Structure 1
Amino acid sequence: MSRSFEAINYARFRRYITNSVLEELHAGMRWSEGPVWFADTQTLLFVDIPSSRIHRWVEGQGVSTLREPSNHANGMTRDRQGRLVTCESGTRRVTRTELNGAVTVIADRYQGKRLNSPNDVVVKSDGSIWFTDPDYGILSDYTGDRAESEIGACNVYRWDPSTHELTLACEGLSKPNGLAFSHDEAYLYVADSGRTHDPQGEHAIYRFELDSAGKPGRRSVFFSVEKGVPDGLRVDVDGNVWTSSVSDEGVMCIAPDGELIGRIHVPEPVSNLCFGGPKLNRLFITAGPRLFSIYTGTRGVPVL
């Protein structure tokens, strides 16, 4: 059994453990983030935020630069038409890269005020784009441009593809970070990483119930990270939440009922992750200056 995996609840996690070991795919970055898998081209995109680059990785070909400068690109995803959707900390906006390479601005203001620094993004089955907007990119010049918040709060927003209207989806969060929908889209998971700048700050993943119209309702604590803070997260086909912890806890696997059942040990602080590969069973992990991967016994929920 691979030493990369640690079973917290052996009976529940054993099926997800393989003999695979953690592989290093790339190194030398300042802070890696935002992995997204393109199944049709078998390509992984990920970013180095401080260096303002979007990288491309292909098996057997290594890493190349897709876009530089990237406006301090952070979280990325793919929409239902196969287009890249990107959070840009530097320009404080969410953009979409069209199939012809043109860049369309999805959102850069809410009620006339500039966004803080969009961080992570997901696309629902109805085509709506949901993203978190903490203030990390405006706190310093390292991952964006230092500035005061115009909105005065850190929220989660929803962009409607039919009306192009940006609405407030979730509020009352300290520093909303990674987010993901449950497999059946009955819930929205949002990581709050407020403890990064306040020892007494938030360090939990919240679960919002979605009503029949897809609007977030009741909020509850799904899981509280003990040592670090939750950042990027993904959901597998069994409903488990796989999350980073930006600490020495590596990648954590949390069952649908909120129990921590297993862990993957990673030698760097993990910022984000995504499932990919031909079978969607390969977990790609951005961790500080390095990019890793490991094969698991589950599959990620397909984006497209």
Structure 2
Amino acid sequence: MTTPKLNLIFLFLFCSSFLYGQEINPGTAGLFVQDELKLIASDFGFSEGCSPDKQGNVFFTDQPNDKIWKYSTDGKLSVFLEPSGRANGTYFDPKGNLVACADAKGELWSINKKGDVKVLLADYEGKQFNGPNDLWINAKGGIYFTDPYYKRDYWTRTAKDMRSNDVYYLPKGAKQAKRVADGMVRPNGIVGTADGKHLYIADIGASKTYRYAIEKNGDLSGKQLLMEYGSDGMTLDEKGNIYLTSRNGVLIFDTNGKMIARIKLVHEPTNLCFSGKDKMTLFITARKAIYTLPMQVKGIE
């Protein structure tokens, strides 16, 4: 005979299992075929920060090993830059320079095709950033980036200068960034819409993702909670679907924040982007591994 307390426990476990199944296994939504997922390599320290150039080649980071890698459209892997400033998130600007969150000294770097580095931003009002993590660049060349604090074993500093974990915007050509979003636990993944009207920011520390309206001066307004999930990296497809990385794989949501698909992986995904000459191959970094997956939809990048 079970007690009322045990009955409640069984009911909780049953409901949790049911909800978990409903939320985490919604299918493919006709966007991909799960069996076509391909493991490319699995010998990295921690793969992250992937971005496609105009030709569809992907550049991604391996922060523990201080490298930026290139995965070409013909399937070849090569080291693009070493050392890389412990680069984390990356994004190509309108001129074709690779902008990287250089975590070693809390900087933003611009890297040209030859691998020459220019420091775009080194501090905020004289204080060192926590550690620029991920970024998105609008059509004007303005840079939005998240700045969460993750203590690194390779840092020489012993304490952080910034009191909070916030989001900043660096207008094109500006020498100083401005804070555009605060009040988060640990902002991480970030991506903007193709029309430049909205910005998605994942607060991975609070397991939430928000949508903001982008004002003409670069400020953000109209904060809206869209998903009760955080994310390390993010991307969008041409339908406006939002791709988040989680311990349960890549989770795909529609523009209303409803989960519509999940990509299952052996390794935990960290970031992703659409790659290839037609921008119809999803490239996924997953800690020690990288994957590709043919898609039935194009990316916006």
Q: TM-score band (shorter)? A: 0.7 to 0.9
Cα pair distance change 1:9/1:140, threshold 3 Å:
closer
Contact 2:44 2:289 in 1 (8 A): yes
Q: Which one of the candidate residues 46, 55, 60 is aligned to 1:31?
A: 46
Kindly provide the amino acid, as one letter, of the partner of residue 259 in structure 1.
K
Kindly provide the amino acid, as one letter, of the partner of residue 178 in structure 1.
G
Contact 1:39 1:277 in 2 (8 A): no
What RMSD in Å do the two structures reach over aligned CA positions? Answer: 1.9
How many residues matched? 278
* Aligned-pair CA distance for 1:171: 1.0
| Mean CA deviation greater in 23-32 or 209-218 | 209-218
Residue 161 of structure 2 is aligned to residue 150 of structure 1 = yes
The residue that corresponds to 1:221 in the other structure is 225
Kindly provide the amino acid, as one letter, of the partner of residue 208 in structure 1.
Y
5+ long unaligned stretches in structure 2 = 1-23
Q: 1:25-174 alignment to 2 at 5 Å?
A: 25-40=40-55, 42-60=56-74, 62-136=76-150, 139-141=151-153, 144-145=155-156, 147-174=158-185
The residue that corresponds to 1:3 in the other structure is none
When Rg is computed on C-alpha atoms for both structures, the one with the higher figure is 2
* Aligned-pair CA distance for 1:100: 4.7
d(CA) in 2 for partners of 1:31, 1:58: 19
Contact 1:25 1:62 in 2 (8 A): no
d(CA) in 1 for partners of 2:115, 2:61: 18
d(CA) in 1 for partners of 2:158, 2:202: 24
Contact 1:244 1:252 in 2 (8 A): yes
Q: 1:10-25 alignment to 2 at 5 Å?
A: 13-14=29-30, 16-18=31-33, 21-25=36-40
* Aligned-pair CA distance for 1:164: 3.0
- SS at structure 1 position matched to 2:64: coil
d(CA) in 2 for partners of 1:178, 1:161: 21
d(CA) in 1 for partners of 2:180, 2:285: 27
Instruction: Write out per-residue CA displacement over residues 216-257 of structure 1, whole angstroms, 9 at most, x where no aligned residue.
Output: 0121211112xxx41100111111101111x1x111111000
Kindly provide the amino acid, as one letter, of the partner of residue 178 in structure 2.
T
Q: Which one of the candidate residues 181, 203, 210 is aligned to 2:214?
A: 210
Instruction: Write out per-residue CA displacement over residues 58-101 of structure 1, whole angstroms, 9 at most, x where no aligned residue.
Output: 24453121112212110001000011000011121010013453
Q: Percent identity?
A: 28
The residue that corresponds to 2:202 in the other structure is 191
d(CA) in 2 for partners of 1:120, 1:277: 22
Q: 1:198-277 alignment to 2 at 5 Å?
A: 202-225=206-229, 229-245=230-246, 247=247, 249-277=248-276
Cα pair distance change 1:59/1:278, threshold 3 Å:
closer
Kindly provide the amino acid, as one letter, of the partner of residue 39 in structure 1.
K
Contact 2:169 2:218 in 1 (8 A): no
Query: Of Structure 1 and Structure 2, which has the larger fraction of its residues in strand?
Result: 1
Moved segments of 4+, more than 4 Å: none
- SS at structure 2 position matched to 1:50: helix
Contact 2:73 2:276 in 1 (8 A): no
d(CA) in 2 for partners of 1:19, 1:270: 15
